[in-house]
A and B are shown apart, each in its own frame.
Chain A
Amino acid sequence: MLDKIKQELIEGSENYLILKNGQIIDRSSEDLTLEFKEDLDLKIIHQIDEDTTINYVVFENVNLKINELIYSLKDVEVTLNIILKDHANCDYTSLRRSNALNIKAKINTYLNESAYLNYKTLNTFESNSVITENFYLEKINALVDIKNVLINSFSKKQDFNINIYHNNKATISNLMNYGIVKNESTLIINSRGLIKEGCSKAEIRQKSKGLLLDEHSTISANPLLEIDNYDVVANHGASIGAIDEAELYYLMSRGLTKDVAEKVIVNGFINPVLALVKEGKFQEYIISWINKNI
């Protein structure tokens, strides 16, 4: 299976790492490890069959771009730690998929001084799942942009917990969640932001949008902000609804069938994330996988 995925995802002379349960089993160059000390653009494929912990370390002043696929065929617990040292810059895109029964995943990210993490994930689990993302903005001027696409279409329950800890001054976090549910599925999005006392000039923005594709699926968005300092910016919002009939009518009035029109609306809904993924095999893979799941 890994060979097939490698063929589908890796093109030409790209940098890549392929790991099984956190151990590197194939790579484009012998020098490549999960400690990134130089600027790099690479793809990482993870197959996870047992409980696994993975650590990425991005060193000072490094610009790193990761396009990642994590998949699991078995019930597992996965922990991924991403550490950005001072002035590190990481553009991280991850497609997570599983057809196991139960998945637990914990992603911990640690951002040091003036580190920037552009974090985009697309989650398409066929399993009951509990995903927890923790973002620790440890040092001054750390900045994280988070965009999560959460697709639940296999009549399962998914808990998605996002915790953002502002532990220093002038730290900024922007969170956008895009939830899509169908086939009597349940999605719970708990987004929690904490600004510690003394963390002036911190900014925290959170928004969750949900699209219900049938009458029996549910999305629950529960934003929570805990602010222990005055001189900050903090806001949150959530909107959940079915496909707008006016949009459907507009598209159909141009000749699109109802099915195609719905697909266009759904793709448009998550396009703010898809548009950020560079054109190529990885983007094609993501789009085909999403269309298969919607």
Chain B
Amino acid sequence: MRTLKIMNLHSAVDNKEILKGVDLVVNTGEMHAIMGPNGTGKSTLAGTIMGDFRYTVTEGEMYLDDENLLEMTVDERARKGLFLAMQYPTEISGVTNSDFIKTALQARLPEGEHVQLFKFIRDLEKAVKDLKMSPDMPHRYVNEGFSGGERKRNEILQLKMLKPSFAILDEIDSGLDVDALRIVGENINSMRSPDFGAIIITHYQRLLEYIDVDYVHIMIGGRIVYTGGKELIKKIDEEGYDWLKLADELESLTLKRRQNILGTCAVKNKIGA
């Protein structure tokens, strides 16, 4: 079993702190959903775990097993077993999907070993078929001229080919029609194994109808404020996040009150006074 451990993670973009102390432990064999309103830091968390150049970790720790992720470059993290399916996958002009994936697989092999071409072609064709993608997809340039849905499927294609230990799926459901959503969801679910763990970031419960998640985390204000099981998905679908925002505010107030007590050795103020 492998473990991805995030402790008190703080991360900033352009000196603005977005993540304000995220704690999360994911083991292989587990599927975790992270849900939350817009602008709460879900994509920042995904990018920070992967090592996106735009984010600066200001505090906290991240470990993959016993190795410190913060000491690794983006490519080292990927080769160690992390994969980020991006919300807005980038176009790479002039580079075919097939060459790109082959190069990425080659990067994981020890020096002197090479990708077995026939096995690679067979695996790629099967993955394309599983995702019901156009057979010419391997020969097209990476994400160039792709529709939103094609880009998302292409991320899952890479995921299936690279077989990481942990995948972070950042709003992989956005831009997908109902059929594509089902295909993507089923493909992710089919990857469930003792050697694979996933963090699925989503706004909607629909994707989670196809993926059997073990834990659901709610992120608000740059922190995970609530963790539960699958039952949370239904509650969020029916009630939104307002009940949690209220709880979060109450918790903040409680925290302030505690600070007052500790700071003065006596209760001087009432809440709201």
Contacts and interface: CB of A to CB of B under 8 A. Distances in A.
Residue from the set B78, B108, B158 with the largest chain A CB neighbour count within 10 Å: B78
B92 A247 contact: yes
A250 B103 contact: no
A264 B95 contact: yes
Given A249-B74, A254-B104, A264 B92 contact: yes
Contact of A258 (B50, B52, B75, B92): B75
Nearest to B164: A255
Contacts of A256: 75, 103-104, 107
Contacts of A255: 75, 78-79, 104, 107-108, 162
Residue from the set A251, A269, A270 with the largest chain B CB neighbour count within 10 Å: A251
Interface in A229-269: 244-247, 249-258, 260-261, 264-265, 267-269
Nearest to A251: B92
Given A250-B86, A253-B74, A255-B108, A267 B94 contact: yes
Contact of B74 (A247, A252, A267, A275): A252
A258 B75 CA distance: 8
Contacts of B90: 244, 246-247, 249-250
A254 B84 CA distance: 8
Contacts of A247: 90-92
Q: How large is the interface on B (under 10, 10 to 19, 20 to 34, 35 or more residues)?
A: 20 to 34
Contact of A253 (B50, B93, B141): B50
Residue from the set B79, B90, B99, B108 with the largest chain A CB neighbour count within 10 Å: B90
Residue from the set B89, B94, B99 with the largest chain A CB neighbour count within 10 Å: B94
Contacts of A252: 73-75, 78
Contacts of A245: 53
Interface string A260-292: 110011011111100100000000000000000
B95 A271 contact: yes
Contacts of A275: 94
B73 to A, nearest CB: 7
Q: How large is the interface on A (under 10, 10 to 19, 20 to 34, 35 or more residues)?
A: 20 to 34
Main secondary structure of the interface of A (DSSP, over half): helix
Given A246-B90, A253-B50, A257-B75, A268 B95 contact: yes
Interface of B: 50-53, 73-75, 78-79, 83-84, 86, 89-95, 99-101, 103-104, 107-108, 141, 158, 162
Name the 6 nearest CB pairs between A and B, nearest first.
A268-B94, A271-B94, A255-B78, A268-B95, A250-B90, A254-B104
Interface of A: 244-247, 249-258, 260-261, 264-265, 267-272, 275
20 contacts: A246-B90, A249-B52, A249-B74, A249-B90, A251-B100, A252-B78, A253-B83, A253-B86, A254-B78, A254-B83, A254-B101, A254-B107, A254-B158, A255-B79, A255-B104, A256-B75, A264-B92, A268-B92, A268-B141, A275-B94
Given A247-B91, A250-B89, 18 more contacts: A244-B90, A249-B53, A250-B90, A253-B51, A253-B74, A254-B78, A254-B107, A254-B158, A255-B104, A255-B162, A256-B104, A264-B99, A264-B100, A268-B92, A268-B141, A269-B93, A269-B94, A271-B94
